[in-house]
Amino acid sequence: MTVLLNNLKRIFLKPINIVLMIVVPIVLNLMFISIFNAEQMYEVGIIDLDDSKLTASIIEEMKIAANTHEYENDDAVINSALINSTINMAIRFPENYAEDMINGKCPKVEIYAVEENTDSVPLTMLVAAIGTNCGEIGKLCDGDEDKFYDCVEDYLEGTFQTEYNNFDLSKGEQIERAVNSLGYLAMGMMFLMSFATTLLLEDKMSRVYSRILTTPTTRASYLLQHLLSYVIVAAVQVVLIISLLPVIMDGQLSFGDSFGVTLQVMLVTLIFATACIAIGLTVSRFSKNNVVAGAFIGLVNLPVLMLGGCMWPRDLMPEGLQRVGDFVPTTWFLKAAEEVLYENGLGAAWKELALLGGLAAILITVSFLVETDDKC
């Protein structure tokens, strides 16, 4: 256990390693989750030709989700603002909009947006819904302006209430967020893979490795102790991050509703980490120096993270790339984690776990068994 204990000492004696293994994945998670969870504020141009109490109320209501900017009734100016992305959309309230509403005529607002851009869809739907419902209120109020505005006020308060309820995350969304978070954690695991490479190559370059082989310690024992030390580090990393992140995120993130599910997530992550370590061990075992190993790890890391859905959802990628992504360990990891998070148990993820375990087993066997001369 001498090599193992010494490795742990070498890893944990350097504060930078702790920062890279624990702090960076947590900060990355916080950063990405904050970005994706931030309420998107739309920029909306308003051309209010009616200038009524109703249009003022609707504009006020829109301010919950949008920054509104008043515009002159000039198509060229609006087109320019849309093309330059100064605004996401523009809404033109026609003259007599409120009067027509009160008289039950259901007038339409005009909405302008860049055709290919979907940014404006939620607000378009909101404005359309308000317009339709105000029209219905108008019909019911039969031209009574005071009654109409009282009803509209009640309706808009109700709309706000509905909107508030929508902020609650459904279970599906919670799991999606947890899977995304594990994707960022996968980056930390990939770092561990590079780290495994670094320590072993350090030993090789300083000739400590070949010197160790002149002692009764066998190559298999040396490599096994290296492997175990990284698995221990990975276990610490996984347990700490998966336990701490939900606390730090103040309930916005959860790796399972029960301790059992959280434990399964940890186990799946640890199996993935072992596969990553096995890749690192194999690379360092057969690389002559850090340059070769660094280049290889770089070539592996980025595509594996991208294709596996750690940087963006796999569904956003073309079909062909998704099929290629089926063969990378990050995909197997995230699929297995998703199964576990949906409380389907480890059995439901057996295929992905078998693939991860198999990959690790093959690489470790190759590293241990392939004979090479270790020159003094």
Residues that bind another protein (CB under 8 A): 2-3, 6, 9-10, 13, 206-208, 210-218, 371, 373-376
Nearer Cβ to another protein (11/304): 11
Angle in degrees, 0-180, between the axes of helices 259-286 and 290-307, rounded to the nearest 10 = 140
| CB 356 within 8 Å of CB 339 | no
Nearer Cβ to another protein (211/323): 211
b/e 138-162 (16+ beta carbons within 10 angstroms → b): beebeeeeeebbebbeebbeebeee
Supply the DSSP symbol for 66.
E
Closest C-alpha to 374, from 196, 212, 195 = 212
Q: What is d(CA 27, CA 47) in angstroms, rounded to the nearest whole number? A: 43
Shortest Å, Cβ 13 to another protein: 7
Shortest Å, Cβ 280 to another protein: 20
DSSP characters for 190-243? Answer: HHHHHHHHHHHHHHHHTTHHHHHTTSS--HHHHHHHHHHHHHHHHHHHHHHHHH
Nearer Cβ to another protein (97/209): 209
Shortest Å, Cβ 214 to another protein: 4
Shortest Å, Cβ 230 to another protein: 18
Shortest Å, Cβ 191 to another protein: 20
Nearer Cβ to another protein (6/132): 6
How many Å separate Cα 102 from the centre of its chain? Answer: 47
Shortest Å, Cβ 82 to another protein: 60
Burial of residue 111 (number of CB atoms within 10 Å: 0-12, 13-18, 19+) = middle
| Pairing relationship of beta strands 66-70 and 42-48 according to DSSP bridges | parallel
Supply the DSSP symbol for 169.
P
Shortest Å, Cβ 17 to another protein: 12
Shortest Å, Cβ 204 to another protein: 11
Nearer Cβ to another protein (111/213): 213
Nearer Cβ to another protein (108/207): 207
Nearer Cβ to another protein (1/299): 1
Closest C-alpha to 241, from 95, 97, 27 = 27
Burial of residue 49 (number of CB atoms within 10 Å: 0-12, 13-18, 19+) = middle
Nearer Cβ to another protein (343/374): 374
